[in-house]
Amino acid sequence: MFTGIVSDVGSVVAVERGNDVRRIRIACAYDPAGIDIGASIACAGVCLTVVACVPAENGAVIDVDAAPEALRLTTAGDWKEGTRINLERPLRMGDELGGHVVAGHVDGLAVIDEREDTGDVIRFAFVAPDDLARFIAPKGSVALDGTSLTVNQVDGSRFDCLLVPHTLAVTTWKDRQPGDRVNLEVDTMARYVARLADVGVGLRSGTET
């Protein structure tokens, strides 16, 4: 589990394309002594498994494998040398839950529809896939590229978020532009609420018939 609070921005240094799995090498500032082989790291919101880790001058270089499902559903298939990626280590027992509960299981891709720079704050407007839009509500939470963000307004499948200076400084968001695709994970609580509502409708329909 993760919280959507980005703890480092890594940079892709190599991509090895296999028949099915793609191995991605990422330079980061994490202490290699604290990263076990088999550990999970959220890479732009995608939970990936560390398969190798070596010390580097300013931290570590980790290898992660992206399976076909991750390559199909997320931006991982577009990563190349030089791509900057939001990183987060998994939540530990007793850690502060500063964002919201994030599984690292990306639901789909949202597209940046608009960027509005207003002083120190940037407003991004996104278009979500139609099947995921029902899980996004004003003042609710979403994880976008691994960042826990609060939804401002919603209009159909379009929604917007305001990013404050600190978030812009410690993530990749200041580089984002209209047309960019970002990994979207909807709030787990919203998913269950929608499921319960669907079950309730089904039960009422069954009673009436």
Q: For the chain, which residues score pLDDT lower than 70?
A: 93-95, 199-209
- Domain shared by 125 and 177, yes or no: yes
Domain total in the chain: 2
**Catalytic, out of 11, 40, 157, 188:** 40
CATH code for the domain of 59:
2.40.30.20
Q: Is residue 27 part of a domain?
A: yes
Query: To 10 degrees, the CA torsion angle through 81, 83, 89, 95?
Result: 160
Domain assignment present for residue 102? The answer is no
In this structure, are 13 and 75 located in the same domain? yes
Q: Is residue 100 annotated as part of the catalytic site, yes or no?
A: no
124 is catalytic: no
- Are 189 and 137 contained in the same domain? yes
Residue 112: inside a domain:
yes
- Specify if 181 maps to a domain: yes
What's residue 201's pLDDT?
Answer: 47
The active-site residue out of 29, 67, 169, 197 is: 67
Give the per-residue pLDDT at 111: 98
Q: Of 14, 29, 52, 150, which is the active-site residue? A: 150
The question of whether 67 is a catalytic residue gets the answer yes
* 103 lies in some domain: no
Residue span of the structural domain in which 74 resides: 8-88
> What's the pLDDT tens digit per position in 65-76?
999 999 999 999
Q: Does residue 12 lie in a domain region?
A: yes
Say what the pTM is. Answer: 0.90
Q: Clarify whether 40 is annotated catalytic.
A: yes
